[in-house]
């Protein structure tokens, strides 16, 4: 089974073993994220939750979670919700914009939560049928272990059917 097919299959399961396999697959597939130690916490029909541990590699010079680790967590959650519903085998996803509103310092492990309603998924699919490429805004909420909001991450993704992608 190819990596993208395995990824899509694992994103539709929420048992501990599947989440562990997904963690390992993503460490191979996205080596940039590996040092952050992200792990899948929960996957449902409408959301993906991913945690970032509170350890030194994720810290800034003040000992809290680094702003870029928080931004990357938000991007990763949003991307995984889109891949879960649209499939990486059929569509190409490119991050077009990223912005973060920080509310608190991250002094604990953090959890990113990205929601995507089934109605929104259906609208995106309809748009992809009639347009060559689309831009999709997606938001991720980052919370600390006490449930306090640490940041809001807004991502805008360019999505295009692989059949319409022209490679040089």
Residue 93: HSE in the Cβ half-sphere, 13 Å Cα cutoff: 23
Task: Give the domain range for residue 146.
Answer: 3-164
* Span 120-141, pLDDT tens digits: 999 999 999 999 999 999 999 9
Number of domains in the chain: 1
- Alpha-carbon span 56 to 60, nearest angstrom: 8
- Alpha-carbon span 19 to 33, nearest angstrom: 16
pTM for the predicted model, two decimal places: 0.92
What does the pLDDT read at residue 33? 85
Mean pLDDT of the chain: 93
- Alpha-carbon span 26 to 8, nearest angstrom: 12
**CATH at residue 145:** 3.10.129.10
Q: Is pLDDT larger for residue 109 or for residue 24? A: 109
| DSSP SS3 for 64 | coil
């Amino acid at each position: 089974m190819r990596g993208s097919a395995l990824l899509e299959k694992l994103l539709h399961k929420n048992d501990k073993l599947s989440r562990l396999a997904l963690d390992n697959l993503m460490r191979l597939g996205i080596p940039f994220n590996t040092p952050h130690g992200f792990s899948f916490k929960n996957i449902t029909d409408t959301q993906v939750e991913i945690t970032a541990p509170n350890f030194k590699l994720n810290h800034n010079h003040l000992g809290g979670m680094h702003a870029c680790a928080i931004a990357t967590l938000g991007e990763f959650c949003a991307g995984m919700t889109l891949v879960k519903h649209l499939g990486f085998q059929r569509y190409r996803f490119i991050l077009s914009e990223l912005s973060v509103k920080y509310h608190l310092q991250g002094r604990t492990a953090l959890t990113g939560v990205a929601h995507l309603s089934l109605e929104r998924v259906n609208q995106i699919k309809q748009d992809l049928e009639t347009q060559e490429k689309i831009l999709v805004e997606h938001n991720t909420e980052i919370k600390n272990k006490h449930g306090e909001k640490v940041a809001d991450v807004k991502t805008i993704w360019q999505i295009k059917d692989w059949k319409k992608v022209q490679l040089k």
